[in-house]
Amino acid sequence: MQNLLAASINGEPVANMAAAVNLEERGLHYGDGLFETMLLRQGNVAAFERHMQRLAVGCERLAIAQQDGNAIEQEIKTLVRQTSQGIVKLIVTRGGGGRGYRGVAGATSNRMLMLYPYTPEIAPAPLTVRWCTTRLARNPLLAGVKHLNRLEQVLAQREWQDASIGEGLMLDLEDELVCATAGNLFVATEGALCTPDLRFSGVRGTMRARVLDVARELGYAVEECALRPQQLLDATEVFVTNAVRGIRPVTALEDRRWPIGALTRRLANALELW
């Protein structure tokens, strides 16, 4: 477990991490909020604007009062001080507290910033994955949003203890392949890139968006699709993305092996990840 280094809530530094959050916080009672997990590298938050854009979309989707990205940027600077690398986690909740699902009309949202230690990877980290038996529910209302209702991911990660397995692949209840437990999934076949369209579940990752953009810039055929497990098995390259770990080439799933392919390398290179 990583050690929380510093934190602030609504701009106020947190002195005592063990007693910091309002007991009526709706994030606790209902998972009524959103989060961003951001990579701090060379003193800067990678793709900060994309994180803020996704947060704004999430607030819009869940009717949570918008946060000010500039204020968050300043607070992150104060939070990280001389720290040049790590993870900055942001939680934004509906605010207003109180028992009852409805909440208070017009409430100002709360923001919590946390700094965790982390050393960014600068070389490809080959990934062995497994199938998760935990399935994702389908709900277009929440699909794509990085909200705080994450029991499915918690239960999925608890399926295995084998440290040699770095990720689990998750299907939805209609047998579509959606994502890894903490990342998006890409498959490549003959130079064409495909990633699940996330119309029913999953999170629209910021690294996923960066990969899609750069792949298009590089002239690759890119498709967001309803992905089936067989397409993964038939693919010539597979990789998992997230904002912190970047691009991780999937090299093994049960008996299936993949090389770290040319397309994967080219994308990682174009994004200055390896």
Q: What does the binding site for a copy of itself look like in residue numbers (CB under 8 A)? A: 1-2, 4, 7, 9, 14, 16-32, 35, 37, 62-63, 87, 89, 91, 94, 96-105, 112, 114, 116, 134-139, 141-142, 147-158, 161, 173, 181-182
Nearest approach, Cβ of residue 47 and a copy of itself (Å): 19
Structure tokens at 240: 């998992």
Q: Tell me which residue of 113, 110, 34, 20 sits closest to 73, measured CA to CA.
A: 113
Tokens 């409430």 correspond to what residue?
107
Between 87 and 260, CB nearer to a copy of itself: 87
Nearest approach, Cβ of residue 261 and a copy of itself (Å): 28
Nearest approach, Cβ of residue 104 and a copy of itself (Å): 6
Between 113 and 193, CB nearer to a copy of itself: 113
Between 215 and 248, CB nearer to a copy of itself: 248
Contact between 37 and 244 (Cβ < 8 Å): yes
Q: Tell me which residue of 211, 224, 228, 234 sits closest to 169, measured CA to CA.
A: 228
Nearest approach, Cβ of residue 263 and a copy of itself (Å): 29
Cα 139 from Cα 225, distance rounded (Å): 17
Between 8 and 195, CB nearer to a copy of itself: 8
Q: Which ranges in 69-126 belong to alpha helices (H)?
A: 69-80
- First vs last Cα of the chain: how many Å apart? 26
Cα 258 from Cα 235, distance rounded (Å): 9
Between 24 and 234, CB nearer to a copy of itself: 24
Nearest approach, Cβ of residue 179 and a copy of itself (Å): 12
